[in-house]
Amino acid sequence: MARFIFITGGVVSSLGKGLMAASLAALLQARGYKVRIRKFDPYLNVDPGTMSPYQHGEVYVTDDGAETDLDLGHYERFTGVAARQSDNITTGRIYRDIITKERRGDYLGATVQVIPHVTNEIKAFARAEVDDLDFLICEIGGTVGDIESLPFIEAIRQLRNDLGRTQTVSIHTTLIPYIAAAGELKTKPTQHSVRDLTSLGIQPDLLLCRVDRPLPDSDRAKIAQFCNVRKEAVIPALDAKSIYSVPLQYHREGLDAEVLRAFGIEDAPEPDISRWDDILDRLFNPQGEVTIGVVGKYVGLPDAYKSLTEALVHGGLANRVKVNIKWLDAELFEEADVPSHLEPMHGILVPGGFGERGSEGKIASVQFARERKVPFFGICLGMQMACIEGARNTAGLRGASTTEFGDTEEPVVGLITEWMGKEGLEKRAANGDLGGTMRLGAYEATLDGNSHVAAIYGGTRISERHRHRYEVNAHYKGALEAGGLIFSGMSPDGTLPEIVERPDHPWFVGVQFHPELKSKPFDPHPLFASFIEAAVKQSRLV
Ligand code: GLN
């Protein structure tokens, strides 16, 4: 039976619980265990799909089409285990399901309450599909003491009782601030946070304490004494040079060993950390560097492009180069002198996005990349912009645009009204709901055997994740191809354009899907590896 590890947060938010969960999973995996991670989000949205990236960072899409929290991206990047819909639950989803059941009369006249009905749903979610696992790590969003997270904490308390103490371990993450005026680290917030947690019935087994300098032994002993944990179970979590340093750093501090000890597991195999050693060697000993200009909308908030940033780093790992990312605001670009900003770039990437704002700046960067033969990578909206640019400037369709931005005489990009979904034909109307109405998740595409992308992938059948409402209009294929923009990847039924490329350009690829979601540090995505390779070549030219 799977063992459960619960990770709660205290003192402040943004302690990096998601990375901690992912790093612990990676360490347990390195010891040969089968691990999965789940995220419990206490907000009332059914999923983060309708939330602004400004508020919540990127929406991470799974193969099975779930729009989930960006922490699931960390989980997948660190473990290689593909996340699923059943790995992310929100309060909103739980309430929606309960109210649907209540309306159907499933509760047979009972009064429906937070305890037991909401807590039972949370427990059922945690316990579903865990039979083949050694460990399930559950990360609880928010901070202990929040009103929203109370039902989750209560569900964990009950689960610890239901499953027995040998089956569950609780890790609480806290902050130990340094007070400059006193010249001291302060343990009091940690003590208070643990007191809050114990008052809700959960005694943590381990404390993972974020701290910006080495934690003196005396402080460690003090925390142990006040918080009822072994001194070795107070794990200092110092800031890391890279997120990929975190697993080995925690390993050195004894995190995985203490977790196993808390479960009473004495015969655990030693971890094989060679995979992480190799990543760090490539990361910290690069043999060159390239600069990639990312022309987007949410450039002030790197979390909005989390997976993209990581995939570019992975492309660098594949080529043993450091990748500098220059975030360029597409909107400012509409006024600015485009060449002066883009000339220093070794590659230009237009990422996914929604809405018209900044689009002319994105189109101008596509034009620059095409004319100057700078490696260009367009992702989702970026591919659509590449098609509009091609239509306007190489196919003579001056009025080309997308219906996403309003009526247009040449809808080179338009609303997808029907496509073959997992359960047959899916249909959409222009005035439908915004939430959950996109073409989401993994779909296959067929590549032209002679294309650049087929050479990059090393095959002609691929599966990639999607999240879009609009598509390039296949009726314009002839006109765009005559202008040099070739449709080199299509949905298997031949209706939806998935990839475009320019054979007369050193590296010009637009994809309708999000390859960044599947890239991993130990398995960089081929498109990112190849794009960075092209940028390295470009860097030798300029
Ligand atoms: N807004 C575009 C669409 O819905 C692109 C979406 C995206 O980039 N993820 O098709």
Q: What are phi and psi of 315, to 5 degrees?
A: -60, -35
pLDDT at 426: 66
pLDDT at 430: 59
Query: How many Cβ atoms are within 10 Å of 186's Cβ, its own excluded?
Result: 14
Residue 211 Cα to ligand 1 middle (Å): 40
Residue 320, marked binder: no
pTM of the predicted model over 0.85? yes
119-127 helix and 150-163 helix, angle to the nearest 10 degrees: 60
Residues within 6 Å of ligand 1 by CB: 352-354, 380-381, 404, 467-470
pLDDT at 307: 96
117 belongs to the catalytic site: no
Gap between the Cα atoms of 187 and 193, Å rounded? 10
Going through 375-518 in order, the beta strands assigned E by DSSP cover: 376-379, 400-402, 410-415, 418-421, 424-427, 439-447, 461-468, 470-472, 486-490, 497-501, 508-511
514 belongs to the catalytic site: yes
User: Residues 6 or more apart from 445 whose CB is under 8 A from it?
Assistant: 461, 462, 463, 464, 489, 490, 491, 492, 498, 499, 513
Ligand 1 pocket: which of 50, 59, 380 to mutate (most atoms within 8 A of CB): 380
What 3-state DSSP class applies to 182? coil
Question: Catalytic residue among 452, 514, 525, 533, which?
Answer: 514
Tell me which residue of 51, 63, 231, 27 sits closest to 141, measured CA to CA: 51
Residue 254, marked binder: no
Overall CATH class of domain 3-278 = alpha beta
b/e code 118-134 from CB counts within 10 Å (16+ = b): bbebbbebbbeebeebb
| Protein residue with its CA nearest to atom 8 in ligand 1 | 352
Residue that is written with structure tokens 């237009």 in the block: 350
Q: What is the mean pLDDT of each run of 10 residues along the chain (542 residues)?
A: 94 87 97 96 86 82 91 95 92 94 92 94 93 95 92 95 93 96 93 96 96 94 95 95 95 96 93 95 96 88 90 97 94 82 94 91 95 97 97 94 90 79 64 66 96 97 95 93 96 94 97 97 97 95 72
Q: Does the fold of domain 287-539 match that of domain 3-278?
A: yes
pLDDT at 242: 94
Ligand 1 pocket: which of 468, 496, 511, 516 to mutate (most atoms within 8 A of CB): 468
Beta carbons of 46 and 434 less than 8 angstroms apart? no
- The residue extents of the domains of the chain are 3-278, 287-539
CATH architecture of 287-539: 3-Layer(aba) Sandwich (3.40)
Residue that is written with structure tokens 């043999």 in the block: 287
Gap between the Cα atoms of 8 and 430, Å rounded? 42
H or E stretch including 37?
strand 35-41
What 3-state DSSP class applies to 330? coil
